[in-house]
Amino acid sequence: MTDPMSALPTAVQWSHVLLAPRLRAGDIVVDATAGNGHDSLFLAKAVLPRGHVFVFDLQAAAIESTRQRLDDSGFSSDQGLTLIHAGHEEMSARIPAEFHGRIKVIMFNLGFLPGGDKNVITRTGTTMSALAQATALIAEDGILTVVAYPGHEGGDEEGSAIEAWMQTLSSTEFEVQKLAFLNFRATTPFVMWLRKRSARPPHTRPASD
């Protein structure tokens, strides 16, 4: 049997591998798609209790599942955790203005709730709106991760739309990469991630004589 520890990371595993060394206790972070709370728990462990985790999901069942998972690990709403039962397209309006521009990481793990209603999926229009908001909400050196699932109906179009949009982002403002299996089925999930670059130091004029 293949040792799972020697297999290359899946898309979800990649998102954690990429973020883990960048997260610090005290960071402000967002899980844009709570689902069953695995990503929220990963973020909570990295940044709480000094930081803040905002969590979004359209479905009450996902918010409850995430609340339970976090609660089981000792994380609660009075300690820097805000669970928001709303679409991530409301991100700018729902996250208090004092946090705008200070967010270190925003994670998107698209698709449907595992074990839940497979008809409730992330949709290209609202995902694109949320991603545009997310690029404004993150701090300099802030990171967005997106795990895309081309295997379900609409997922291929959604992943392609995100990739096409990311390719248009200014390379002086953002760095963007994609991680995908090259020899698996085209429906295999993949990761895109983006870093907001630091503003350049002000141009220094040559000293006048």
With contact defined as beta carbons under 8 Å apart, do 64 and 41 qualify? no
Q: Which one among 36, 106, 138, 190 touches ligand SAM, defined by CB under 6 A?
A: 36
Instruction: Give strand pairing partners of 11.
Output: none
Q: Which one among 18, 19, 29, 37 touches ligand SAM, defined by CB under 6 A?
A: 37
Residue 41 CB, nearest approach to ligand SAM (Å) = 8
Q: Is 159 a residue that touches ligand SAM (CB under 6 A)?
A: no
* Amino acid occupying residue 126: T
Cα 83 from Cα 159, distance rounded (Å): 26
Binding to ligand SAM (CB under 6 A) within 84-143 occurs at 87-89, 109, 111-113, 120-122, 126
N residues, the chain: 209
Closest CA to 19 of 127, 141, 137: 141
Residue 208 CB, nearest approach to ligand SAM (Å) = 55
Q: Which one among 16, 29, 51, 57 touches ligand SAM, defined by CB under 6 A?
A: 57
Residue 2 CB, nearest approach to ligand SAM (Å) = 24
Spell out the residues 6+ positions from residue 166 whose beta carbon is closer than 8 angstroms to its own.
Answer: 176, 192, 194
Contacts with ligand SAM: how many residues (CB under 6 A)?
Answer: 23
Closest CA to 141 of 2, 60, 52, 27: 27
Give residues in contact with ligand SAM (CB under 6 A): 33-39, 56-59, 62, 87-89, 109, 111-113, 120-122, 126
